[in-house]
Structure 1
Amino acid sequence: MKGRLKVLMVAPELAPLIKVGGLADVVGALSKALAAKGHDVRIVIPKYAGLRHDETEQPLDQPLVVHLGDHEAYARVWEMPLPESRATCYLLEHDEFFNRASVYTGPSGNEKDNGRRFTFLSRAAIDLCYHLDWMPDVVHCHDWATGLVPVYLNTNERDAPMGCAASLMTVHNMQHQGWFPPDLMAYAGLPASVYRPDGLESGGELNMLKGGIYHSTKITTVSPTYAKEIQAPDGGCGLHDLLRYRAGDLIGVINGVDYSEWDPGTDKLLPHNYSLKDMSGKAACKQALQEAFSLKVDPHVPVFTVVSRLVDQKGLDLLAAIGDRLMQTMQIQIAILGTGDPALEHLFRDLAARHPGRFAAYTGFNNQLAHLVPAGADFLLMPSRFEPCGLSQLYSMIYGAPPVVRATGGLIDTVEQYIEGEGKGTGFLFHDATPDALYDTIGWACSTYYDRPDDFRQLQLNGMSRNYGWDESAAKYEQIYRWAIEARLGG
């Protein structure tokens, strides 16, 4: 199939409207890139109370009827262009499920009705296509929250117009799968026959991600190495056998970066811009970073930074374990921006209290700081236990801060190992997920900064000169869409 494609994106979050993690960035940037190539791209997300509003939002004339198992529900649909894009967004307003500031979690953890909330999203996305009289060629689903869309297409919609649409499931993180009691089947209105081990059933519960992987025409994940890792027991989180079964349809595609938002030469959130040709502004950003985190202003001391969710996956407990030792043995500063595990937040606040002016932690999210940190940093720390792709390491290389990363998942695919004295590489990789391995690699980076300044400078230039944009990845998704459409139509 050649020519313009009609692509429906279904996602629980979308940058810049509502963001929890990298999934939102990917959906927004990929949609923008595909639309720029001339494709008809439309995106469906819930209209959360915490969603960023825009004066371009316009309600559709008629409410959307959502056909669930034992009843019909209704949603008001708002239409708007994706900012700075030719793609179109549809926002589903349904107060019972989405009139909340957050996406997945409430004050006490995961929302108890997440099963119904995201079943509603999946069913509503399909019903919206009928409502608009617009049938997509491919429906691109993102993570467990949209896992029922391919199941609907293969069952209830199989002999209906939407049944001709191919489906693509992108797995952003295998750790999150969407487990719910089996009585969700009746609410969804799905046939009982799909609740089985080679479908939705897993350990006596309904597993949305499993159903989406099993029923999708094609499957992608966000890096080639992660596509291999999730087929092994350690990486597959219980679904490795299914992923090996679908291995012929599983493809890893590296995420890209939206340079309209992440470019030190044009970034409006920075106090000073800079580029490969003129790096002087980076020193000014470093001073601004030190001031913002109450670190001692010193242009000669390397600043190591973290921008991350503070969770077990990210391996930041390894950093907490060596925090005091780093402060005692190395002339460095550390600045942490993130939120998550209260225990980790407490550990980092304690380290900051013990080492004022040298160790700092901002527990929360601040978009301006999220841009200032890579701009002012000398290095990024990313000791992840697993990392499907990661975006922070890409941002840090673009902003001239070589990353220190564990060799896993997308970090292997995006960070090139530094080779001393040869001017090669973009960062520092280590293999063992241990405090000592992280300590030694930080020491290696530190000695490079002090003892081999020409190598450090070359690492900065290497990272800044690479192209991490969406063009190549968007072209791969175009090809995967066409493969999926051909497979759905029988070759």
Structure 2
Amino acid sequence: MKILMITSEAFPFVKTGGLADAVSALAIALHKCGHDVRIVLPRYYTIRRDSLELLNAPLKINIGNKVYSTSIYKTTMPGTTNRTDKIGLPVYFIDYEPAFGRDGVYGSKTESDFRDNPFRFSILCNGVFELCKKINWYPDIMHAHDWASALVPVLLKFYKRKEQFSQVSSVLTIHNLGYQGVYSKENYPITGMKWTEFYKAGFEDWDNINFLKAGLVSADVLTTVSPTYAQEIQTAAYGFRMDPIIRNRKSDVYGILNGVNIDVWNPMNDNKITANYSVKTMDKKAENKAELQKRMGLKIDSTIPVVGIITRLTDQKGVSELFGPTYGCVYNMCVDFKMQFIVLGSGEKWCEDELRNLNSKLPNMGVYIGYDDELSHLIEAGSDFYLMPSKYEPCGLNQMYSLMYGTLPIVRRTGGLADTVEQYNEKTGEGTGFMLNDLTPRSIYDTVGWAMYAWYNKPEHIKKMKIAGMKKNFSWEMSAKKYEDVYKIAQNKVKE
């Protein structure tokens, strides 16, 4: 099967969140299954041209009455050419300086959301079709990811199936319904769509255009990144106003849990941690804990539980309940419980400032504002618990990393967290983590307190849960098999 992934980010080229990891890992897993998989994304300012191959002749992209002359660069996904009988996974970059020649993927430090994002990602989505013509390669499946590439199934449905793309099916994966690409209606012409299709294609959103909404209406099949999230987004509580559309298409919605890239996240061969370990050598995890405590300026003591968190400091992640200066629970947790608390993250300024304030007051707290990939691996390997009290979590990856690294998740029962973490049974010691139902400071405090009680009073349960978590299988191979089934369903829709 020929599959084209269209995305705004892909690891290791550009990453702002879990989307980049998921797209690349799924593509690699499908590639390993024998499919002809390719990825296309913008060439941002941070992706160096000298590391890429320039394809001959410019790529002309026609949008409305204008023609944009762009360049196409190509490389191979790292790690996909190790076997001599395999062709590497191609990655294409659309290079157009006015759209992508700046620092930032969706926004910058001074402009959180670029006002010309409709133009930028319309260049990407319209360019995809011209790229296929240029390289004379037509996929069976065009797989778009989130709002930035949601225009692809719209263009395919309304225009391109009259051309060389008549047998191409579209799949749109919702990684996070909270980000929809809503902009002023005056941007509509830059999509390449005609005004006569404005309502039919689903763009209209209270006198704005909504890229994701149009994709939800137009794609042959919709997927989300966990079974629970697929159900949640059909409700008003989690649907971000899109739930009526998704309920109307519920027979076309499939929840497929993301996997973990075990080439990157695996305690047995992770070169970013101090000591490698497995279920049989779990005692070596203590070496990572000591190094983590040392790096974060905390007392080196194996008997004190370390609670780690790696997060975007945004409302979705429960930061107000954790760090809010008025009623956040972290201060009381660090004072009341004999524990150490480590935070790696960046985001809203008030939260970054409050974290610095808390760090100055609490000797058992370590804070790193920003992102450090090596530190993120060390936190997973060196922590005893991982806190993830999200308001909603489509899939979540860190709780799966934690389980694989023998670090017990403390999570809210939502989305992919509910699908991957099993609640602790304090009578039997069964389970793989601790769950809270309500997102309140008190609920977080109580659940962390429950975990601390188990640490100090039920060490045999803690060990049992760590072993159970490390034995879980979160491979992308399982997810890829389910996507193969979805692709076949999408293909049958075009044939009908």
Q: TM-score scaled by structure 2?
A: 0.96
Aligned to 2:439: 433
Q: CA deviation at 1:69?
A: 1.0
CA contact (8 A) 2:6 2:41 kept: yes
Structure-1 residue corresponding to 2:89 = 87
For 1:325 and 1:182, how far apart are their aligned partners in 2?
A: 47
Q: Could you tell me how far apart the structure 1 residues matched to 2:366 and 2:27 are? A: 36
1:197 deviation in Å? 6.5
After TM superposition, give the deviation of residue 53 of structure 1 in Å: 6.7
The equivalent residue for 1:266 is: 269
Q: Identify the residue that residue 359 of structure 2 maps to in structure 1.
A: 352
Query: For 1:317 and 1:298, how far apart are their aligned partners in 2?
Result: 30
In structure 1, the residue matched to 2:84 is none
CA distance in 2: counterparts of 1:463 and 1:420, whole angstroms: 16
The answer on whether the counterparts of 2:306 and 2:341 sit within 8 Å (CA) in structure 1 is yes
Please give the residue correspondences for 1:458-473 in structure 2 after superposition, counting only pairs within 5 Å: 458-473=464-479
Equivalence for 1:117: 120
Partner of 2:182: 179
**Aligned-partner residue type, residue 28 of structure 2:** K
Aligned residue runs from structure 1 range 181-196, under 5 A? 181-196=184-199
- Within a 5 Å distance, the mapping from 1:161-310 to structure 2 comes to 161-196=164-199, 199-310=202-313
Q: What is the alpha-carbon distance in structure 1 between the residues aligned to residue 103 and residue 403 of structure 2?
A: 33
What is the aligned partner in structure 1 of residue 338 from structure 2? Answer: 331
- The answer to whether the 8 A contact 2:118-2:190 is kept is no
Give the Å deviation of 1:130. Answer: 0.8
1:238 shift after superposition: 0.9
Aligned to 1:413: 419
CA distance in 2, matches of 1:298, 1:366: 24
Question: Which residue of the other structure, out of 341, 349, 352, is the alignment partner of 2:348?
Answer: 341
Residue from 2, 6, 31 that aligns with 2:2: 6
Residue of 307, 312, 316 corresponding to 1:313: 316
**What displacement does 1:459 show?**
0.9
Contact kept, 8 Å, 1:70 with 1:187, in 2: the verdict is no
Is the 1:68–1:188 Cα contact (8 Å) retained in structure 2?
Answer: yes
Deviation at 1:193, TM superposition (A): 2.3
Question: What secondary structure does 2:71 align onto?
Answer: strand
Q: C-alpha distance in 2, partners of 1:102/1:367?
A: 18
Give the whole-Å Cα distance in 2 for the aligned partners of 1:206 and 1:163: 27
Q: Which residue of 1 aligns with 2:57?
A: 62
1:387·1:411 contact (CA, 8 Å) conserved in 2?
yes
Q: SS of the residue aligned with 1:368? A: helix
Amino acid at match of 1:381: L
Paired amino acid for 2:73:
W
SS across alignment from 1:234? coil
- How many angstroms apart in 1 are the aligned matches of 2:175 and 2:215? 13
Q: Give the Cα–Cα distance (whole angstroms) in 1 for the partners of residues 140 and 149 of structure 2.
A: 17
For 1:292 and 1:66, how far apart are their aligned partners in 2?
50
After superposing the two structures, state which structure 1 stretch, 382-391 or 86-95, moved more.
Answer: 86-95
1:136 maps to which residue?
139
Instruction: Find the partner of 2:25 among 18, 22, 29.
Output: 29
User: Quick check: 2:72–2:92 contact (8 Å CA) kept in 1?
Assistant: yes
User: Residue 155 of structure 1 is aligned with which of 154, 158, 162?
Assistant: 158
1:170 match: secondary structure: strand
**8 Å contact 1:233–1:240 — kept in the other structure?**
yes
The one of 98, 101, 122 aligned to 1:99: 101
Deviations 1:180-219 (A, max 9, x none): 2223232222122221176111111110000011000000
Aligned amino acid, residue 208 of structure 1: F
- Give 1:421 shift: 3.4
Match of 2:389 in 1: 383
Note if contact 1:257-1:469 (Cα within 8 Å) is conserved in structure 2.
yes
Report the Cα distance in structure 1 between the residues aligned to 2:383 and 2:450, rounded to whole angstroms: 17
Deviations 1:354-405 (A, max 9, x none): 112x011111000000100010000000000100000010111111100000
Deviation at 1:481, TM superposition (A): 0.4
Aligned pair partner of 2:13 in 17, 42, 50: 17
Matched, 1:322 2:324: no
One-letter identity of the residue aligned with 1:77: I
Inter-CA distance 198–130: structure 2 relative to 1 (3 Å threshold): closer
| Contact 1:51–1:101, Cα closer than 8 Å, also in 2 | no
Are 2:54 and 1:48 equivalent residues in the alignment? no
Q: CA separation of 1:52/1:264 partners in 2, compared to 1, >3 Å: closer, same or farther? A: farther
SS in 1 for 2:341: strand
Match for residue 366 of structure 1 among 369, 372, 385: 372
Write the letter of the residue equivalent to 1:248: S
Determine the structure 2 residue equivalent to 1:396: 402
SS at match of 2:185: coil
> Which of residues 120, 126, 130 in structure 2 aligns to 1:127?
130
Aligned length: 484
Letter in 2 for 1:471: E
Which amino acid in the other structure matches residue 122 of structure 1?
C
Cα deviation for residue 158 of structure 1 reads 2.6
- Give the counterpart letter for 1:10 in structure 2: I
TM-score (norm 1): 0.97
2:493 is aligned to: 487
Q: Which moved more, 1:185-194 or 1:147-156?
A: 185-194
CA contact (8 A) 1:406 1:432 kept: yes
Counterpart of 2:107, as a letter, is T
Shift of residue 138 of structure 1? 0.6
The separation in 2 between residues aligned to 1:293 and 1:194, in whole angstroms, is 55
1: CA distance between counterparts of 2:48 and 2:428? 47
- For 1:289 and 1:350, the matched residues in 2 are separated by 21
Distance 1:467 1:393, change over 3 A: same
Who is 1:444 aligned against?
450
Deviation of 1:126 (Å): 1.2
Deviation readout 1:158-182 (Å, 9 max, x if unpaired): 3111132100000011110001222
Q: Structure 2 unaligned runs (5+)? A: 81-87
SS in 1 for 2:281: coil
Residue pair 1:223, 1:409 contacting (<8 A) in 2 also: yes
Q: Report if aligned partners of 2:154, 2:201 keep a CA contact under 8 Å in 1.
A: no
- Contact kept? 1:421, 1:455, Cα under 8 Å: no
Kept after mapping to 2: 8 A contact 1:8/1:41: yes
Local SS of the residue matching 1:163? coil
Superposition CA RMSD, Å: 1.2
Equivalent position SS for 1:484: helix
Q: Supply the distance in 2 between the matched residues of 1:422 and 1:51 (Cα, whole angstroms).
A: 51
